[in-house]
């Protein structure tokens, strides 16, 4: 939460519709997280929404929004996954993404985004 206050962002928790985990609303500098998220998912979602806040992203309905979402997912994966811990978990769990996510205490989406980064880096 320290980063949120440094950026001047308020963070609130409440019930969100349509399976949304979190949203960032730039005009109010507000992040809303779904109140029912387990801790690991709350941490991943907060990190993702803080990336949007850091760049003052305004929405996902435009071409810019698609790029902002891609950036937020990439930066979230890089912030939450340590390369050494990932390599160890990858070997320990024989590449099983779900078990790797559990080991690293992140969402499956964050692991998949991290893998995409590794793949793109190797190309």
Q: Are 39 and 21 in contact (CB under 8 A)?
A: no
The whole-number pLDDT of residue 1 equals 56
**C-alpha separations of 1 from 15, 38, 69, 74, 113 in Å:** 19, 16, 21, 20, 23
- Give the pair of three-digit tokens for residue 111: 């692991």
Tell me the pairing of strands 30-34 and 22-25: antiparallel
| Euclidean distance between CA atoms 35 and 97, whole angstroms | 26
The whole-number pLDDT of residue 4 equals 81
What is the longest distance spanned by two Cα atoms in the chain? 45
| Euclidean distance between CA atoms 46 and 27, whole angstroms | 18
**C-alpha separations of 8 from 27, 57, 70 in Å:** 12, 15, 23
Category of 32 on φ-ψ map: left (φ > 0), alpha (ψ -120 to 50) or beta: beta
pLDDT tens, the chain, 123 aa long = 578 888 899 999 999 998 899 999 999 999 999 999 999 999 999 999 999 999 999 877 677 888 999 999 999 999 999 999 999 999 999 999 999 999 999 999 999 999 999 988 876
- Give the pair of three-digit tokens for residue 79: 């912030």
């Amino acid at each position: 939460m320290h980063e949120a206050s440094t950026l001047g962002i308020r963070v609130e928790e409440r019930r969100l519709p349509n399976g949304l985990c979190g949203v960032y609303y730039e005009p109010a500098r507000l992040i809303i997280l779904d109140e029912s998220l387990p801790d690991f998912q709350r941490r991943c979602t907060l990190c993702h929404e803080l990336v949007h806040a850091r760049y003052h992203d305004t929405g996902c309905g435009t071409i810019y929004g698609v790029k902002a979402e891609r950036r937020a997912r990439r930066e979230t994966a890089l912030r939450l996954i340590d390369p050494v811990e990932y390599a160890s978990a990858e070997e320990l769990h024989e590449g099983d993404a779900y078990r790797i996510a559990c080991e690293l205490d992140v969402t499956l989406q964050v692991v998949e985004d991290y893998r995409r980064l590794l793949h793109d880096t190797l190309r």
